[in-house]
Amino acid sequence: MPICVSIFAMLNEDDTKADTSCVHDLLRQKDADIAALQAQVALLSEQLAWMQKQLFGRRSERIVGNPDSQTLPLDFGDQIAASLPQEKTQEIHYTRRKPARNRGADTLSYPDDLPVKRVELDVAAHEKTCPQTGEPLVCIGEEISRKLARTAEQFYIIEYVRPKYASRNHPDLGVRTASLPEAVIERCAADESLLAYVLNAKFADHLPLNRLVEILGRSQIHISRQTLSKWVLTLGEGLSPLYEAMKSRILQSGVVFCR
């Protein structure tokens, strides 16, 4: 009985050694396969990089083949790296003018020598006295607001001059100035005459705004297309009551004809 057990143990030990040897062989084969695949991936990656450089690289980097041949020879062997042209670098020094910082595309500029029409807006006479002491207020300066205006084929500047008044003994009471005239677009740098010209040019003369920018530019008046677009949209909203009134009057007529 002990002899049988010993024989069985020896047989099991031989099987275990055989299995271990088989596993080692499989691992070695697997390592060899992985190495072969990695080499193939590296070769394919190199070929892909070469092809991309030929198709999308700079013209000076492309390989020129035999001019008599109809096709470009593609050698994907070990000669690829040697056949590629060596890139050359060149250090270039230059200066570039830095553009002036702009506050955005909404700009309005005009020549400094445009004629100026001065319009003085003063406070009422009874407001020129101090309410505390009754003494007359002293003019301490002017507040000037400028708008670009236009007459027929001529641009000029309307300069609103508003004297500022303050109490000499009570400066904490504030400063008094006349109010600016009401405007269609509040705080707009364009006078209503110029706004009317823009609307007339766009809707009556059918001028696109980019052409209007060029027309104004010939007079050295530089207004961006974005600014003109905002003016047109704002004026359209402001004129909506007039539109509704005209529409109501037209619909009340016996014959409706609108051009």
Cα 24–chain centre separation: 65
Which tokens is 155 given? Answer: 């641009």
User: Is pLDDT at 66 greater than 70 in this prediction?
Assistant: no
Give the global pTM: 0.50
User: Is pLDDT at 236 greater than 80 in this prediction?
Assistant: yes
Residue 90 counted as domain residue = no
Which tokens is 216 given? Answer: 């104004």
Which tokens is 109 given? Answer: 């500029």
For residue 160, give the DSSP letter.
Answer: E
Mean pLDDT across the stretch 65-86?
Answer: 53
Rounded Cα distance between 62 and 50, Å, is 10
> Structurally, how many domains does the chain consist of?
1
Taking only the tens place, the pLDDT of each residue in 76-130 is 555 555 555 666 777 777 677 766 665 556 688 889 899 999 999 999 988 999 8
Residues 6+ apart with CB under 8 A from 77: none
Residue 184 counted as domain residue = yes
Taking only the tens place, the pLDDT of each residue in 239-250 is 889 889 988 988
Residue 55 counted as domain residue = no
Domain carrying residue 213: 108-251
Residue 31 counted as domain residue = no
- CA-to-CA separations, 159 to 117, 118, 148, 175, 190, in angstroms, rounded: 6, 5, 9, 20, 12
User: Is pLDDT at 184 greater than 90 in this prediction?
Assistant: no
Residue 176 counted as domain residue = yes
